[in-house]
Chains A and B, each alone.
Chain A
Amino acid sequence: MADMASMLDVSVWRGADEGRFVSYPVPRRENQTVLDVVTYVQRRLDATLAYRFSCRVGMCGSCAMTVNGVARWTCRTHVGRVAKDGRLRIAPLRNMPVIKDLSVDMAGFFAKAARAKGAFRPTADRTADFAVIAPDSPRRRRADAAIECIGCGVCYASCDVVTWNPDYLGPAALNRAWTLVNDERDGGNRERLAAVAGDAGCHACHSHQSCMERCPKHLNPTESIAGLKRATVLAALTGKL
């Protein structure tokens, strides 16, 4: 039996949009992640706890939750870094409807990626030769800087503009659109810029930079959105919007 000094005081959101925090004692371990803690609660203390995870190594983007008030990928978040006083308050992500406990409905989040024309629109078919793109060309570099998104929803949950304006496409969808705006092989930019312009799009962004602050992959959606603001303005001024 572990003594109290080696126990964590973990409170976990139970319910849907209405619900409450329930306290669970969880043994403190070395090299323990927040996801380990949630898994312990579900396997040892209450099997009815709903949460989502898959890869456990920071690739799939399915385990994001609100940990002590901040949206984080729980599989790569060490308890020692976020629970200095041994307390953890684990809640579902903000800005998305809660299905149950720590699982949120991300359908709207992914639908916005589609609405922002986040799908690649090819200009060549399979018989064409490889597109040759210089790795150090400016557009390739801009795409590179934004491309490692794993779709975890942390930026979306951290963004106040999403809270204030539920139609707002949000940092992840706009960041995705920006990578395609810079993809020389893509032919869908006219529709894409029209889709991301305006009040539900990039111009709603106030550069709070919470997305950049919280992105576990250290991406900078604020910069991508700023790029879209400039590109859409140029399109509007040249009659392409």
Chain B
Amino acid sequence: MRPFRLAGGSRDHPAYWAFAVHRLSGLLLVLFLPAHFYVLSRAIQGAAALDAVLAWTEGPLVKAAEVGLILLLAAHLTGGLRLLAVEFLPWRDWQKTLIAVTAGVSLLIGLGFLINVA
């Protein structure tokens, strides 16, 4: 006996993938924020504290996490702009192409960060 209710096929299209990326990136970003603010509050105790935090961010793992964060932020930004277009502009078929554009721009932003941080 198998439940037939698994959505499977109804989700298999780009606009749904875009939604999945938007929801996951939004969730991770909002959970990251308190940590971000906490580290900032530690860092602003003084120049030495800030340099200590900055030294910590030089580690390869933290650097990798930073690239991931930039990608999440870029994906949520571009995906959000697309959603605003869908909700506030009349639908045109070019809006389908927007999904690919958001993916491309996000990757470019991530690459831009990677090149400059390396």
Direct A–B touching, Cβ under 8 Å: yes
A residues apposed to B, CB below 8 Å: 13, 18-21, 66, 68-71, 91-92, 94, 157-160, 163, 206-210, 212-214, 220, 222-223, 226, 229-230
Complex-state Cα separation, A230 to B87, whole angstroms: 8
Could you list 20 A-B pairs, sorted by A, with CB under 8 Å? A19-B1, A66-B4, A69-B8, A71-B10, A94-B4, A94-B5, A94-B7, A160-B11, A163-B7, A206-B23, A207-B86, A207-B87, A208-B15, A209-B16, A220-B91, A223-B90, A223-B91, A226-B91, A230-B87, A230-B88
B window 73-97: CB within 8 A of A: 83, 86-88, 90-91
Complex-state Cα separation, A13 to B6, whole angstroms: 13
- Closest A residue, CB atoms, query B4: A91
How far apart are A110's CB and chain B's nearest CB, in angstroms?
Answer: 21
Pair B10/A157 contact, Cβ less than 8 Å: yes
With A163-B7, A223-B91, A230-B88 in contact, is A18–B1 under 8 Å at CB? yes
B15 contacts across to A, CB distance below 8 A = 207-210, 212-213
Pair A226/B88 contact, Cβ less than 8 Å: yes
Pair B91/A70 contact, Cβ less than 8 Å: no
Pair A226/B87 contact, Cβ less than 8 Å: yes
B16 contacts across to A, CB distance below 8 A = 160, 208-210, 213
With A94-B5, A210-B16 in contact, is A226–B10 under 8 Å at CB? no
Pair B11/A68 contact, Cβ less than 8 Å: no
Complex-state Cα separation, A108 to B24, whole angstroms: 31
- Closest B residue, CB atoms, query A15: B1
Pair B8/A210 contact, Cβ less than 8 Å: no
Sorted from nearest, which 9 A-B pairs have the closest CB atoms? A69-B9, A70-B9, A209-B15, A69-B8, A91-B4, A223-B91, A158-B10, A226-B87, A213-B13
